[in-house]
Amino acid sequence: MPEKEAAAKKPALARTVKDKWRSKRWFKVRAPGLFQHLELGETVANEPEQVIGRTLETTLPELSGGADAAKAHVKLRFRVERISGDGVAEARFIGHDLTSDYVRRLARRKRSKIDSALTVTTKDGVQIVLKPVAVSEQRLQTRLRAELRHKIVSTLTEEAQQRTSPEFVREMLQGDLSKVLAHGVKTLYPLKKIEIRRSEVLGTISDEVPAPETAAPVEAPAPPEAAPVAGDASAA
């Protein structure tokens, strides 16, 4: 008798189980204006508030559609800050990393690797933590490594002070900043490679490009007034 009662209860219990995935929805995640508001991907949640604070990671080629194929070792990090009116999760850029295998290939045997860490402040007041790495063709003396490290730190500090945060980040990710560093240390020693292996943005980078739904409408210019015609009675 008890077995029959248990068997009768099983179907009723199965009907009470809720499918948690049915109550979830997908949210598109959009990059900030620094990256032309490109779509980063999608994330799932029950409520929009659960999406805020989530971090996403992508590479430069993935974000640019393969345009930067040579920079597959550059990983970008984003954090969702808010949900826009159209239900899209707006993310901000919080930093980047170089893949560990790429950094290992740089520092091979019989080479000197120079690591540094510093915090710079851009022209518009945004603080960014930088961790540059430099590699030489051969082993260097301790004194020369210290001089090169000091030169790299001072150059990065000066470059940040002369550029806004969007300009500085763009040059950092595209490799232009590495060229500036290589030129700056050339008088001390021509290094084989200088990279910013990691960055962390402590503030919020201003968006130079407005989001599509918030872009201000462009007003059409008013038509020029017609010049009065000589002899016209209405012009009198």
pLDDT in tens, 26-51: 889 999 999 999 999 898 888 888 89
| Euclidean distance between CA atoms 116 and 35, whole angstroms | 27
| Euclidean distance between CA atoms 19 and 7, whole angstroms | 23
- Does 10 fall in a domain? no
- Does 2 fall in a domain? no
Are residue 110 and residue 179 in the same domain, yes or no? yes
- Does 84 fall in a domain? yes
Angle at 168 between CA 122 and CA 53, to 5 degrees: 80
**Choice between 111 and 120, residue whose per-residue pLDDT is larger:** 120
Are residue 123 and residue 43 in the same domain, yes or no? no
Are residue 71 and residue 42 in the same domain, yes or no? yes
**Choice between 208 and 125, residue whose per-residue pLDDT is larger:** 125
Question: What's the domain range around 166?
Answer: 99-208
Q: Of the candidates 97, 120, 144, which is a domain's last residue? A: 97
Are residue 111 and residue 196 in the same domain, yes or no? yes
The amino acid occupying position 146 is A
Helix axes 176-184, 165-174, angle to 10 degrees: 80
Q: Of the candidates 51, 73, 97, which is a domain's last residue? A: 97
Q: Is 62 buried (19+), middle (13-18) or exposed (0-12) by CB count in 10 A?
A: middle
> b vs e for 18-51, b when ≥16 Cβ sit within 10 Å of the residue's Cβ?
eeeeeeeeebebbbbbbbebeebbebeeeeeeeb
Number of residues written out for the chain: 236
Take residue 196 and report the two structure tokens written for it: 């910013």
Contact in structure between 25 and 48 (CB atoms under 8 Å):
no
Q: Residue 222, Cβ neighbours under 10 Å: how many?
A: 6
| Euclidean distance between CA atoms 29 and 112, whole angstroms | 41
Number of domains in the chain: 2
Q: Of the candidates 40, 63, 97, which is a domain's last residue? A: 97
Give the global pTM: 0.77
Find all residues with CB under 8 Å of 127, minimum gap 6, and list them.
119, 120, 121, 201, 202, 203
Per-residue model confidence as pLDDT tens digits over 130-183: 999 999 988 899 999 999 999 999 999 999 999 999 999 999 999 999 999 999
pLDDT band at 22 (very low <50, low <70, confident <90, very high): low
- Does 223 fall in a domain? no
DSSP state of 205: P
Q: Is 218 buried (19+), middle (13-18) or exposed (0-12) by CB count in 10 A?
A: exposed
| Euclidean distance between CA atoms 58 and 65, whole angstroms | 11
pLDDT band at 232 (very low <50, low <70, confident <90, very high): very low
Find all residues with CB under 8 Å of 214, minimum gap 6, and list them.
none
**Choice between 123 and 227, residue whose per-residue pLDDT is larger:** 123
